[in-house]
Structure 1
Amino acid sequence: MKPTPRVEIKRPSKNSHQRVLTRAFQSLELGLALIVYMVTVATIGVWLYTTIPTWASMSVSMQLCYAQNTLCWLQGAFFRQECNPFSCADFEKAATDEHLPTSVHLDYVLATNGGSIVEEFTSPTLGYRKLSMKERELYESRGFHLQHVKVYPPPIVIDSEVRIARCWSFAGSTGHIAISLSEPIIISHLSFHHPDHRELSASLLSRAPSRFTLWSLLPDPPRDHLLREDLVSTTQFQIRQTNSAPEGSLVHLADIEYDATEGLQMDAAITNNSVVSSMVILEIKDNRGRIRPVSTESRSTMQFRR
């Protein structure tokens, strides 16, 4: 006859309770550490997004510069090690100025020379919307609005300094910008300044403008040597009507094709080279991306010569 197995029921010892509690605390600590890690990563991500403009459109060298500065900050914050960060702004300017051609001719569109943007005939800026009453109060108290921090207005096109990833953008692949010249002139040449394509990402380069039409505003009535059939109404370019909006008709000056990979490009094919112009409209008809939803004047500046 086989012996019957004996079953014993023992109460858990104090050591067993301690082991269970220890494992529970370890799991809790691991969970808290994971939460802290995720919050830290999210905070760094938000900081990068809010402090580094147009990260995706930067060149690889600029992205590396900002990444190096981030690592430098982490090294000093957590490891108490001394680290001297790079000046990405100076690095960007040096990279741009190295390949930026110079010209001895007077630029009649530069803001520093007296040029200005005529907003009534300029396409709306992408991402720049009208602020509500509450947002306007915050804007007046802080001097800026978060919605507009990364948005560059049209006057950046006539700024004397060309910087990578700082450009005026508008919705769609076509748009127009109106510029009041510093003085009435007869336009004979047109030139563009654009950052070196080797320092631009493929995304930013594809949004560079490629085809333009240049128009000149003439006061009514037109001059005798211009046929009335050659004049075009300003209504197709007028965004809003104001009492200060210039009046007159437009005359075609030139059709221009621009290749951003060639840096500074001169185009002397001015159709009406005897027209005295005080305000011009640059109509952007296409960009390098062709079908991309955004076209950008990448800090392009124009020179009009006598």
Structure 2
Amino acid sequence: MEGSSGSSANADASARSNGKRETVQETLRTRTKINQRLQFAYHSFQKINFMFRVLAGILCAIAVIIPVTAPSWKNRGTAMAVCFLIRFACMLSTMIVSTDVPLNCDGEFYHRLWSEEPGPDYGLAVRGGEIVAELTTPTLGYSPLSYSDKLVRSWDRYNWDQQHQDIVIPQTVIGQSVRVGECWAFAGTRGHIGIQLVIPISLTQIVLHYPNTHRLLERELRQAPKTLVVWALVEEHSLMSLEAVFSTRPANHFSKKGQDSSMMKGGVFVAAANIEYRPEDGMAQSFPVLKGAASLRTGVVVVEVVNNWGGEATCLYKFGVHGTGE
């Protein structure tokens, strides 16, 4: 009896030992499977992140190539859509590994792709540029205040200004932004605006800004300028030493009073740039100055609109004057 009970105890101990070994082995197999799955998930995430990076690079290349090789508004719109796809791909990528989103989908980014930076705008109002009222065509819808208007405005200035707030002042032309409808308008197809620059400069480039034509009504497109001449006020004696032949106008040619002011005494207006403007060619178009005009220094320019695209009035958006200063 004692022998049989001893063998039975040994058998139970052996069974328990085998069960423990199987449990440990099963635990090890389970841990191995979990580790393998975690490693697979980690490598899968790495592959997905790499794929998104490659996709962003391909889309970025496409976004750069499209506007550079075929800079039409249709293609620029396509490039803008591609930019948003890039940002979407990068957004998904940042969910996995933190990365910087490389692009901002705005007009300035794409403008830098196909346009050389012309340098500082010396007519910009925030830098000290000013509109010369004496050399500027009257604003459409605005007339000098009569004595009675001045009394009404002094009595209730807020309401008076609210009633006339739809009139865009000439200073918009030397502002910083370009928004649909915020343009300086004058009646008819011919007019001019005088700009006093921050400092005297030698002109190099003129830049005309206009909104995306897809956002404009047909009536607004007809009000865009077509042919323009940029006149620079220079000292008359400075032309004598130059061989180039310039088209000129007397200093009082654009003056409302037909008289020389203190800033125009001894001066003459010289044609610095002839511009044929097509709004559909881009939101910011650069035009070089005429040969020889770059050697002249000027502190005042007049932008003369010769005609527009068929509108009864003409509207000017931002106008940039670029050159070399000191």
Inter-partner Cα distance in structure 2 for 1:238 and 1:245: 12
CA contact (8 A) 1:108 1:115 kept: yes
More helix by share: 2
Shift of 1:168: 0.6
In structure 2, the CA distance between the partners of 1:219 and 1:98, relative to structure 1 (3 Å rule), is: closer
Residue deviations 1:90-113 (CA, integer Å, cap 9, x gap): xxxxx9957983546211111011
Matched position secondary structure for 1:124: coil
Given residue 294 of structure 1, which amino acid in structure 2 is its aligned partner? Answer: A
Given residue 255 of structure 2, which amino acid in structure 1 is its aligned partner? Answer: Q
Question: Which one of 184, 199, 204 corresponds to residue 183 of structure 1?
Answer: 199
Question: Which one of 277, 282, 287 corresponds to residue 303 of structure 2?
Answer: 282
Q: How many residues align?
A: 210
* Structure 2 residues without counterparts, runs of 5 or longer: 1-104
CA contact (8 A) 1:189 1:304 kept: yes
Q: Does 1:237 align with 2:257?
A: no
Q: Which residue is 1:255 aligned to? A: 274
Q: Does 1:211 align with 2:227?
A: yes
RMSD across aligned C-alpha pairs, in angstroms? 2.7
Question: Which one of 76, 101, 107 corresponds to residue 111 of structure 2?
Answer: 101
State the TM-score, normalizing by the size of structure 1. Answer: 0.62
Residue deviations 1:247-266 (CA, integer Å, cap 9, x gap): 32111112111111122111
Matched position secondary structure for 2:252: helix
Matched position secondary structure for 1:106: coil
Matches within 5 A, 1:12-51: none
CA contact (8 A) 1:210 1:287 kept: yes
Q: Which has the higher contact order (CA 8 A, sep 6+)?
A: 1
Q: Which residue is 2:287 aligned to? A: 267
Shift of 1:149: 1.8
Larger radius of gyration: 2
Matched position secondary structure for 2:197: strand
Given residue 284 of structure 1, which amino acid in structure 2 is its aligned partner? Answer: V
Residue deviations 1:86-144 (CA, integer Å, cap 9, x gap): xxxxxxxxx99579835462111110111111111111111101223232122223144
Q: Does 1:131 align with 2:131?
A: no
Shift of 1:293: 1.7
Inter-partner Cα distance in structure 2 for 1:275 and 1:217: 9
CA contact (8 A) 1:213 1:283 kept: yes
Q: Does 1:201 align with 2:217?
A: yes
Residue deviations 1:151-204 (CA, integer Å, cap 9, x gap): 111111000011110111111101011111111111111111111111111111
In structure 2, the CA distance between the partners of 1:147 and 1:124, relative to structure 1 (3 Å rule), is: farther
CA contact (8 A) 1:96 1:163 kept: no
Identical-residue share of aligned pairs (%)? 30
Matched position secondary structure for 1:176: strand
In structure 2, the CA distance between the partners of 1:195 and 1:99, relative to structure 1 (3 Å rule), is: farther
Matched position secondary structure for 1:235: coil
State the TM-score, normalizing by the size of structure 2. Answer: 0.58
Inter-partner Cα distance in structure 2 for 1:256 and 1:229: 16
Inter-partner Cα distance in structure 1 for 2:108 and 2:119: 20
CA contact (8 A) 1:107 1:302 kept: yes
CA contact (8 A) 2:206 2:319 kept: no
Given residue 127 of structure 1, which amino acid in structure 2 is its aligned partner? Answer: G
Matched position secondary structure for 1:236: coil
Inter-partner Cα distance in structure 2 for 1:132 and 1:254: 38
Residue deviations 1:231-250 (CA, integer Å, cap 9, x gap): 32133311135855533211
Q: Does 1:301 align with 2:319?
A: yes
Matched position secondary structure for 2:111: coil
Q: Which residue is 2:23 aligned to? A: none
